[in-house]
Structure 1
Amino acid sequence: MEQTRTCVTADDPCIVCTDAAIRRGDTTIWSHGTFAIPRGTVTAVVGTNGAGKTTLLNAELGLIPLSHGNMRVLGGAPGTNNARIGYVPQSYTSDIDSSLTAEQSVLLGLTGTRFGIHPVTRAQRAKTREAMEFTGIADKAKLRLSELSGGLRQRVAIAQALVSDPELLMLDEPLANLDLASQRATVRILAQLNSELDMTIQIVAHDLNMLLPILDGAVYLLDGHPHYARLDQVLDSDLLTHLYGTTVQVVTTPQGDMFVTPALTRPDASADTHRTDEVAQFHHHEYDHDRAQ
Structure 2
Amino acid sequence: MTNDSTQHDACIVFHDAAVSRGGRTIWQHGSFAIPNGSVTAIVGTNGTGKTTMMKAELGLLPLAAGSITILGRPAGSANRQIGYVPQSYTSDIDSNLTAEQSVLLGLTGTQFGIHVVTKAQKAKVRQALAFTGIEDKAHLRLSELSGGLRQRVAIAQALVSDPKLLMLDEPLANLDLASQRAVVHVLARLNKELGMTIQVVAHDLNMLLPILTGAVYLLDGHPHYAAMNQVLDSSLLTHLYGTTVQVVTTPQGDMFVTPSPDEPEDVVPDTHATAEIAQFHHHHGAGDAGHDAGARTPAVRNDAGGAR
Interval containing the TM-score (normalised by the shorter chain): 0.7 to 0.9
For residues 86 and 111 of structure 2, the distance between their equivalents in structure 1, rounded to whole angstroms, comes to 20
* Greater RCO, 1 or 2 (C-alpha within 8 Å, sep 6+): 1
Where does 1:83-102 land on structure 2 (aligned, <5 Å)?
83-102=80-99
- Cα deviation per residue 1:174-219 (whole Å; 9 max; x = unaligned)? 0000000000000000000000011000000011010000000000
- Cα deviation per residue 1:38-96 (whole Å; 9 max; x = unaligned)? 00000000001111111111111110011100110000001111010000000001111
Q: Which residue of 2 aligns with 1:194?
A: 191
Q: Is 1:46 matched up with 2:43?
A: yes
Match of 1:25 among 18, 22, 26: 22
Match of 1:60 among 47, 57, 60: 57
Percent identity between matched residues is 76
Amino acid at match of 1:222: L
Amino acid at match of 1:138: E
Query: Which sections of structure 2, spanning at least 5 residues, go unmatched?
Result: 264-287, 291-308
For residues 169 and 125 of structure 1, the distance between their equivalents in structure 2, rounded to whole angstroms, comes to 21
Query: How far did residue 256 of structure 1 move?
Result: 1.9
Q: Is 1:260 matched up with 2:271?
A: no
Query: How far did residue 11 of structure 1 move?
Result: 3.2
Amino acid at match of 2:235: D
Report if the CA contact (8 A) 2:7-2:13 is conserved. Answer: no
Where does 1:143-154 land on structure 2 (aligned, <5 Å)?
143-154=140-151
What secondary structure, in the 3-state scheme, does the structure 1 residue paired with 2:121 have?
helix
What secondary structure, in the 3-state scheme, does the structure 1 residue paired with 2:116 have?
coil
Match of 2:103 among 103, 106, 127: 106
Q: Which residue of 2 aligns with 1:3?
A: none
For residues 254 and 246 of structure 1, the distance between their equivalents in structure 2, rounded to whole angstroms, comes to 25
- Cα deviation per residue 1:263-291 (whole Å; 9 max; x = unaligned)? 1247xxxxxxxxxxxxxxxxxxxxxxx97
What is the TM-score normalised by the length of structure 2? 0.83
Report if the CA contact (8 A) 1:108-1:115 is conserved. Answer: no
What secondary structure, in the 3-state scheme, does the structure 1 residue paired with 2:73 have?
coil
Q: Which residue of 2 aligns with 1:269?
A: none
Query: How far did residue 116 of structure 1 move?
Result: 3.5
Runs of 4+ in 1 over 3 A off after TM superposition: 8-11
Query: How far did residue 169 of structure 1 move?
Result: 0.1
For residues 99 and 61 of structure 2, the distance between their equivalents in structure 1, rounded to whole angstroms, comes to 30
- Cα deviation per residue 1:129-177 (whole Å; 9 max; x = unaligned)? 0000000111111110000000100000000000000000000000000
Change (3 A) 1:115 1:225: farther
Where does 1:268-283 land on structure 2 (aligned, <5 Å)?
none
Query: How far did residue 114 of structure 1 move?
Result: 1.8
Match of 1:181 among 161, 169, 178: 178
Q: Is 1:169 matched up with 2:162?
A: no
Q: Which residue of 1 aligns with 2:214?
A: 217
Amino acid at match of 1:253: T
Query: Which sections of structure 1, spanning at least 5 residues, go unmatched?
Result: 1-7, 267-289
Match of 1:160 among 141, 157, 175: 157
Q: Which residue of 2 aligns with 1:235?
A: 232
Q: Which residue of 1 aligns with 2:139?
A: 142
Query: How far did residue 10 of structure 1 move?
Result: 8.0
What secondary structure, in the 3-state scheme, does the structure 2 residue paired with 1:125 have?
helix
For residues 176 and 10 of structure 1, the distance between their equivalents in structure 2, rounded to whole angstroms, comes to 32
Change (3 A) 1:209 1:249: same
Q: Which residue of 1 aligns with 2:271?
A: none
For residues 67 and 75 of structure 2, the distance between their equivalents in structure 1, rounded to whole angstroms, comes to 9
For residues 20 and 114 of structure 2, the distance between their equivalents in structure 1, rounded to whole angstroms, comes to 39
What secondary structure, in the 3-state scheme, does the structure 2 residue paired with 1:207 have?
coil
Q: Which residue of 2 aligns with 1:37?
A: 34
What secondary structure, in the 3-state scheme, does the structure 2 residue paired with 1:18 have?
strand
Query: How far did residue 12 of structure 1 move?
Result: 2.2
What is the TM-score normalised by the length of structure 1? 0.87
Aligned residues: 263
Query: How far did residue 236 of structure 1 move?
Result: 0.5
For residues 116 and 80 of structure 1, the distance between their equivalents in structure 2, rounded to whole angstroms, comes to 30
